[in-house]
Each structure stands twice: as structure tokens, then as C-alpha cells.
């Protein structure tokens, strides 16, 4: 929380003085009452020590004063509000390693299932596009609010060979920036990268692509899919196959998300991958907005003040 007029907070230092004044007024009222009462009846009329009922309205009044002072300082806070529109581009690794079965049934099939759930969770007015990258990065679905187009492209994904991660991010940036609204403005955009390995193909390095996204203020969220135990069968020149370990490369993906102010996720299994995309659907569907809370603090102060007056009137038959 921040304050537009922090100088007003100095008034909080006066609250102890206000507490002392209220206490003095309460004691004076007791003395004035005792002055006109029968001395023999004073012990019955006035307790030696004020009970909680006498102190409670005073405490409420102090809280009310504190809230009003905070309101004068014009407090601001970042609140999460729904986005009205956005463009989301998914960059999906379709290299050979995506056929590994350490994530059941395969890495690619698990990714397709999780992404399908993600697309259903994202607000319907959002545009979703998709880029696949193996040896080469391709746009397989334009950024559109038509979910059937996106889901058809998702179902058609097939594994290729290498991993052109940097080119995939660069193509996703182009797709995200291709959406414009009136007067050349672009809706907010985000890129979601799902990959299970280090770059082996392509012309642009991953961190170079991340710097480009940073320049355009497009956050890149990254998901490292798979485990250290993932293996694939690779054909050899003699016609046989060789089992090759294909562990994920979380270090590069973490750097990409950090550089672009996105977020990194590790998904070693299908359940965690589903959870990641469910969270991303909620995260990208909202934005942080700075709002002034003066009215809220003023309302709270008024409510506490009325509560103090009401309590005193009901219990003691008078207003403090």
C-alpha cells in the first residue's frame, strides 16, 4: 500500500493525545456526576474502575479516528481485476523428445490435454494463438477467439526432430504483436512456452528472443516438462535404434521468464502440468490495477464512529 498524501499520517501521532482527552472527559463526567449525587450512594452509582462497557466506545472512536486519518493520506493499493481483452500465444515444443513417456501417456499428449483445459478456462473473448517449434517454428493457429480453430490445431500437433526454442519465441512475439485494435493500439499480450529440452536447432538463441519480448513488454511464462529419467528411441545409421536420455532444461526457461517478468513452472508429471495451466488461466485472465482506497477508509471510519455512538446510546443512554 502507498499513500498520495503521506504527510497526513503525522496526525496518527495525535491519537495517543486523543485517547488521553477522551479518558479525561470520561473521568470528568464521573466527577461531575459524583458532585451532585448522594455521597452514600456514589459507590453504587460509579464503579471504582470503568468496566469494558465504558472503554469499548472509546476504543471504537479511536479506531474511527485512525481510519479517517488514513483516508486523508489517500491510500492506494494494487488490486487484481479481470482483463477485458488479451492475446495469448502458446509456443509448444514438438521435438522428438516430446514422445518420451515419463509424463503419461507421452509428454506431447499430456501437454495437449493440459492446454485444452487452459483454453477452456481463459475468458472467451481472449484471442489464443499457437506456435509449434521443432526444427523450424510455425504458426499453427492464428490468434483468434474461435476456440474450435485453436483446438483443431492443437489436436493436429505431431512430434518432429530438433528444438528451435529461440525461433519459437520470436514467432510467438510476431503473432502476438500482429493483433491491433483502434488507432494502432495492441491489446495486452502474453506468451506461454512449453518445452522439454535445450535448444538444438534454429537461428535465434532463446535469451535473444527473450530480450526481444522484454523490449515489447510481453511476459513469457515458461513450463519445463518432463523428468531426468525421460528417454526416447533415436534411429541410428545402421538401422537400429538407440535409447537417449532427454531431460528438461529448466535453467534456460527460468532465465527467459525472469528476464521478461513472466514466471517459470516445473511440470514433472501430468497432474502438475494440469495444475500449472489451470493457474496460468487465472493469472493471465487478471491484471493488477492501482486504486485509491480513500472512500473505503472514510466509510470504515464513519462505521466505527456510528458504532461507538450507538453502543453508548444503547448501553448508557447517552452519547460519549
Which pLDDT score is estimated for 108?
A: 92
Pairing outcome for strands 87-93 and 137-144 = unpaired
Cβ 254 vs Cβ 195: under 8 Å: no
Beta bridge pairs of residue 241: 235
Mean per-residue pLDDT over the chain, rounded: 82
pLDDT score at 316:
64
How far is CA 317 from its chain centroid?
50
Model confidence pLDDT, tens digit, residues 128-178: 999 999 999 999 999 999 999 999 999 999 988 889 999 999 999 999 988
Please give the Cα distance from 98 to 162 (Å, whole number). 10
C-alpha cell at 12: 496518527
Of 160, 155, 157, the residue nearest 96 (C-alpha) = 160
- Position 43 scores a pLDDT of 54
Q: Is the peptide bond before 250 cis (omega within 30 degrees of 0)?
A: no
In the chain, the domains with their CATH numbers are 2-78+291-316 (no CATH), 84-284 (3.40.50.410)
Burial of 32: CB neighbours in 10 Å, binned 0-12, 13-18, 19+ = exposed
Residue 107 has pLDDT above 60, yes or no: yes
pTM for the full predicted model: 0.67
Residues of the chain with pLDDT > 90, as a percent, come to 28
- Read off the pLDDT of residues 189-198 as tens digits, 9 standing for 90 and up: 899 999 887 7
Encode pLDDT of 108-122 as tens digits. Answer: 998 898 889 888 888
Rounded to whole angstroms, the Cα distance separating 98 from 90 reads 16
Q: How far is CA 200 from CA 27, 93, 197, in A?
A: 82, 12, 9
pLDDT at 311 over 90: no
Confidence band of 182 (pLDDT split at 50, 70, 90): low
Q: Which of 212, 216, 188 is nearest to 288 (CA)?
A: 188
Q: For residue range 4-49, what is the model confidence (pLDDT) as tens digits?
A: 888 888 887 777 777 777 677 766 766 665 555 555 555 555 454 4
Amino acid at each position: 500500500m502507498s499513500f498520495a498524501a503521506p504527510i497526513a499520517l503525522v496526525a496518527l501521532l495525535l491519537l495517543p493525545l486523543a485517547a488521553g482527552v477522551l479518558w479525561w472527559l470520561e473521568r470528568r463526567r464521573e466527577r461531575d456526576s459524583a458532585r451532585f449525587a448522594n455521597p452514600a450512594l456514589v459507590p453504587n452509582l460509579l464503579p471504582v474502575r470503568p468496566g469494558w462497557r465504558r472503554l469499548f466506545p472509546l476504543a471504537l472512536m479511536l479506531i474511527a479516528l485512525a481510519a479517517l486519518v488514513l483516508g486523508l493520506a489517500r491510500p492506494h493499493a494494487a488490486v487484481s481485476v479481470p482483463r477485458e481483452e488479451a492475446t495469448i500465444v502458446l509456443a509448444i515444443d514438438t521435438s522428438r523428445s516430446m514422445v518420451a513417456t515419463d509424463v503419461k501417456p507421452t509428454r506431447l499428449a499430456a501437454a495437449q490435454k493440459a492446454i485444452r483445459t487452459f483454453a477452456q478456462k481463459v475468458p472467451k473473448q481472449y484471442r489464443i494463438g499457437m506456435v509449434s517449434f521443432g526444427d523450424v517454428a510455425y504458426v499453427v493457429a492464428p490468434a483468434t477467439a474461435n476456440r474450435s480453430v485453436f483446438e483443431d490445431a492443437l489436436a493436429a500437433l505431431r512430434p518432429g526432430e530438433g528444438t528451435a526454442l529461440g525461433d519459437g519465441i520470436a514467432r510467438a512475439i510476431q503473432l502476438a504483436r500482429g493483433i491491433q485494435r483502434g488507432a494502432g493500439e495492441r491489446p495486452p499480450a502474453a506468451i506461454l512456452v512449453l518445452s522439454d529440452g535445450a535448444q538444438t536447432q534454429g537461428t535465434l538463441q532463446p535469451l535473444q528472443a527473450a530480450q526481444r519480448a522484454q523490449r515489447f513488454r510481453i511476459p513469457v511464462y515458461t513450463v519445463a516438462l518432463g523428468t531426468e529419467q525421460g528417454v526416447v528411441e533415436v534411429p541410428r545409421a545402421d538401422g537400429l535404434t538407440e535409447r537417449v536420455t532427454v531431460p528438461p532444461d529448466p535453467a534456460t526457461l527460468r532465465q527467459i521468464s525472469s528476464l521478461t517478468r513472466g514466471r517459470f513452472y516445473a511440470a514433472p508429471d501430468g497432474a502438475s502440468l494440469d495444475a500449472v495451466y489451470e493457474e496460468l488461466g487465472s493469472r493471465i485472465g487478471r491484471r493488477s490495477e492501482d486504486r485509491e482506497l480513500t472512500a473505503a477508509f472514510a466509510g470504515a471510519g464513519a462505521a466505527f464512529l456510528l458504532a461507538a455512538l450507538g453502543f453508548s446510546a444503547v448501553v448508557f443512554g447517552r452519547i460519549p
